[in-house]
Chains A and B, each alone.
Chain A
Amino acid sequence: MIVEIGHFALVLALAVAIAQTVAPMLGAYRRDAALMAIAGPAALLQLALVSLAFAALTWAFLVSDFSLKLAYDNSHSAKPLIYKISGVWGNHEGSMVLWVLILALFGAMVALFGRNLPDTLRARVLSVQASIAVAFLLFIVLTSNPFIRLDPAPFEGTGLNPLLQDRALAFHPPWLYAGYVGYSMTFSFAVAALIEGRVDASWARWVRPWALAAWLSLTIGIAMGSWWAYYTLGWGGFWFWDPVENASLMPWIVGTALLHSAIVAEKRGALKSWTLLLAIIAFSLSLLGTFLVRSGVLTSVHAFAVDPERGIFILGILIFFVGGSLALYAWRAPLLKTGGIFAPVSREGALLVNNLLLAAATAAVFFGTLYPLLLDAVNGPKITVGPTFFNLTFVPIFVVLLLLVPFGPFLGWKRADIQGAAERLMVAAGLAFVAMLLAYAFMWDGPWLAPLGIALAVWLVAGAASEIAWRIKLFSVPLTESMARARRSPRAAWGMALAHGGLGIAVAGIVGVTAWRAETIVALAPGESTQLAGYTLTLEAVGMRDGPNFEATTGVVRIDRGDRFVARLMPEKRRFPAERQEKTEAGIHTNWLSDIYVVLGDVAGEGKWVVRAYRNALAPWIWIGGMIMAIGGAISLTDRRLRVGAPVNAKTHAGARPVAAE
């Protein structure tokens, strides 16, 4: 019964979304306040209905109601509670319901907190947002119904893919989706502004927090996914340039560009049209990511053709929104008033270069991901695009970008003094140089490029610190005044410094893992030892143990450095009888500078086991850096200016506009 209520609520939400698409748009066109007023309550009702549908699904998973086909396919009564919950979105149908739930949540937030937006803009934003909901609710109801019952109801479920039974992965999709769907907000604002025919400071002020929120969610989602891949896939890699990873990376890069250009649009009224385009592209790439992973087109273009119903539907959604918004952009953008005078060497100019490099980096990922599919689709030769391609295209572009990052915050608006900026960065440059020399001195056996990478990382961190030091006039005024200045500095400034510095820390981690990894693969009998980068690894024993819904073969590996005991690791191979699958669980010891990473492999005959071990230098820094970036985003999001939203005069403007309609 509860399941049927959920199904009913979902269909009702579709009806509400249709009304929310049509009425406010018509109202804004006719300047009909009553029609426009439908948008707000409709958005809240839509959230309530989709929440009900999602709650019904979750309930079925929690009580292990296997008469629900989705629960039967993706759950098991013996599964730990947390994975019963994450099982709701660990599948196609449920994940689409989660997608729509986040969409409805964001729409409702605009309805609740957007009272200071001009009425017509708010109505149009909510209408565009609802049209996305219509498309995806139709997709769920017509092709991916999560509420299908089984009769007779099976006694037990078939379980969730063991790879998904993991704490980091359980919450990876919600963050990723919050990012994807967050860009639907900036998209809705962009389309509404194009229809409206005006982009002003209040518009840009509204877009910035959404761009920031989406970016920070996506950063967390991607970092979690990469961390999971690191400790689960068993060979200590953190990024594989796999198409599904690239699908989430592309909106992140364009979203980063959007974040930066929105600042120019807000503060200087320049690059407006470009900001609109980025908002459209960021969401288009989010939709593309959804299409790539949902349609099965990645496995093979031909697998897509075998079961095309869902793929074609999403392709339709993609073409409608991307094509429609780009056409609207081509038609309306030239009519927008452009503004802002600035010299080539200025904060504006620097952010333009930032955008250019990010766009080129996105192109490298885009072509590397889609080109094999395109060739295949036109019956061209089959090719593989692996990591080397991205190392040769994406990485050089990104390195240039990273080199320029510390300059940006030192450049003034309108016209900047590049020499002054360079002087203020002398300390950072000196530190980077020293770090490079140290890296050459102590890591002489690694690749010759690696110390340059470390220099780049130090340059980023020291550059970010220099900006703060300069802002609070550290050492040039008394310390108490510096403290006072630090307290007065806007949170957005701290957020930016943290994000740029976190980027540097992540770069150090990436360089360390790539360049200074030690590896050993040996067959050991219990009691035998092997050496790895100055550590002694001893396989003490191999035994069996039972988990809640799996049985594991556990190796006990003792790690010593000389005479000193370091740690005892327990890498496992887990078998999940309900799902009839296996997964490895690496044993990892970290001292925050490097990881010792041990995997238990197969039996190697005569009581021996294959043991793989890695020393991953600076590995933890990749995710520490990622988290610092996300924290920087969060701090920036709490900046007073963003919470206030639109400037006060926008309010009087909003009230006056319907009356003074042309």
Chain B
Amino acid sequence: MRAALAAILLLLALVAPGFAALDPSEMLDDPAAEARARAISKELRCLVCQNQSIDDSDAELARDLRAVVRDRIRAGDTDAEVFAFVVARYGDFVLMTPPFTPATWLLWLAPGLVLVVGGGVALLILRRARTGDGNQRLTADEEARLAALTNAETADKSE
């Protein structure tokens, strides 16, 4: 039944319901530090949810991770250190944005690649369209007939 429900949700282009879950009691007192915690939380995935950051999720695990992030900030970690701390425990999967590694080269470069290859094809189309090339070129037979006609004409004139 759960699987069926998940399928329905998926079909209908929905995301799993997560009722924005940050609680006032979790927040840090220093607004600047809290703002940093929010920004970091938006880039960390709630591992048991579907494509939700821990900032958006009301899952137990997300709540725990939010607390971890704030503990690290209280302990004086920089943003990079907080990310490193979490990644060391959960792997790259926990990052909402995949790092640029050999495994993700294709992912990051694909749109640019399509732009370059597509641009090449577009240039080809433009060049052909400018001259009206392509299938509209005369066949060898037609070329010969045209040549014969023009030759005859020049021959006429030279006489």
Which chain B residue lies CB-closest to A163?
B17
Contact A384 B94 (CB under 8 A): yes
Given contacts A352-B122, A380-B103, contact A388 B43 (CB under 8 A): yes
Contact B135 A338 (CB under 8 A): yes
Q: How far is the CA of A375 from the CA of B130 in the complex (A)?
A: 43
**Which residues on the B side are within 8 Å of A389 (C-beta)?**
97-98, 107-108
**Which residues on the B side are within 8 Å of A222 (C-beta)?**
13
Tell yes or no: A106 within 8 A of B by CB.
Answer: no
Contact B98 A385 (CB under 8 A): yes
Tell yes or no: B147 within 8 A of A by CB.
Answer: no
Contact B111 A244 (CB under 8 A): no
Size of the chain B interface, CB-CB below 8 angstroms: 61
Tell yes or no: B50 within 8 A of A by CB.
Answer: yes
**Which residues on the A side are within 8 Å of B19 (C-beta)?**
233-235, 584, 599, 601
Within 8 A of A (CB), among B1-34: 3-15, 17-20, 22-25, 27
Contact B8 A92 (CB under 8 A): yes
Given contacts A233-B18, A303-B3, A360-B114, contact A382 B91 (CB under 8 A): yes
Given contacts A338-B135, A375-B103, contact A240 B24 (CB under 8 A): no
**Which residues on the A side are within 8 Å of B10 (C-beta)?**
244, 292-294, 296, 298-299
A349, A352, A384, A393: most-surrounded residue (chain B CB, <10 A): A384
Tell yes or no: B129 within 8 A of A by CB.
Answer: yes
Contact A383 B103 (CB under 8 A): yes
Q: How far does the Cβ of B56 sit from chain A's closest Cβ, in whole Å?
A: 6
Contact A95 B13 (CB under 8 A): no
Given contacts A225-B13, A521-B24, contact A270 B96 (CB under 8 A): no
Q: How far is the CA of A364 from the CA of B110 in the complex (A)?
A: 7
Tell yes or no: A161 within 8 A of B by CB.
Answer: yes
Tell yes or no: B146 within 8 A of A by CB.
Answer: no
**Which residues on the B side are within 8 Å of A381 (C-beta)?**
91-93, 101, 103
Contact A383 B92 (CB under 8 A): yes
- Encode A76-98 as 1/0 by CB contact (under 8 A) with B: 00000000000000111001000
Q: How far is the CA of A316 from the CA of B96 in the complex (A)?
A: 32
Q: How far does the Cβ of B63 sit from chain A's closest Cβ, in whole Å?
A: 12
Contact for B93 among A234, A356, A383, A602, CB less than 8 A: A383
Tell yes or no: B128 within 8 A of A by CB.
Answer: yes
Within 8 A of A (CB), among B75-132: 91-98, 101, 103-104, 106-108, 110-115, 118-119, 122, 125-126, 128-132
Contact B15 A240 (CB under 8 A): yes
Q: How far is the CA of A340 from the CA of B43 in the complex (A)?
A: 50
Given contacts A339-B136, A386-B96, A521-B22, contact A95 B104 (CB under 8 A): no
Tell yes or no: A576 within 8 A of B by CB.
Answer: no
Contact for B110 among A274, A294, A363, A612, CB less than 8 A: A363
Tell yes or no: A522 within 8 A of B by CB.
Answer: yes
- Encode A167-192 as 1/0 by CB contact (under 8 A) with B: 00100110010000000000000000
Contact A359 B118 (CB under 8 A): yes
Contact B8 A91 (CB under 8 A): yes
Given contacts A163-B9, A383-B104, contact A356 B110 (CB under 8 A): no
Given contacts A234-B19, A293-B13, A356-B118, contact A240 B51 (CB under 8 A): yes
Given contacts A233-B18, A523-B25, contact A360 B115 (CB under 8 A): yes
Q: How far does the Cβ of A283 sit from chain B's closest Cβ, in whole Å?
A: 18
Tell yes or no: A337 within 8 A of B by CB.
Answer: yes
Contact for A92 among B11, B56, B92, CB less than 8 A: B11
Q: How far is the CA of A348 from the CA of B94 in the complex (A)?
A: 46
Contact B111 A522 (CB under 8 A): no
Contact A367 B97 (CB under 8 A): no
Contact A371 B4 (CB under 8 A): no
Tell yes or no: A518 within 8 A of B by CB.
Answer: no
6 sample A-B contacts, Cβ–Cβ < 8 Å, listed by A number:
A92-B11, A242-B13, A242-B51, A243-B51, A360-B115, A375-B103
**Residues of A with Cβ closer than 8 Å to B?**
73, 90-92, 95, 161, 163-164, 169, 172-173, 176, 222, 225, 228-229, 232-235, 240-245, 247-248, 270-271, 274, 292-294, 296, 298-299, 303, 307, 336-344, 348-349, 352-353, 355-357, 359-361, 363-364, 366-368, 371, 375, 380-389, 393-394, 397, 521-523, 583-584, 599, 601-602, 604, 610, 612
Q: Which 10 pairs of residues, A with B, have the shortest CB-CB distance?
A: A386-B96, A235-B20, A363-B114, A341-B132, A364-B111, A388-B97, A338-B134, A383-B98, A382-B93, A367-B110
Beyond known contacts A229-B15, A293-B10, A599-B20: 18 more, CB 8 A cutoff? A91-B4, A92-B11, A163-B9, A163-B14, A233-B15, A234-B20, A244-B12, A299-B3, A299-B50, A338-B135, A355-B122, A364-B110, A367-B111, A381-B101, A382-B93, A383-B104, A389-B107, A521-B27
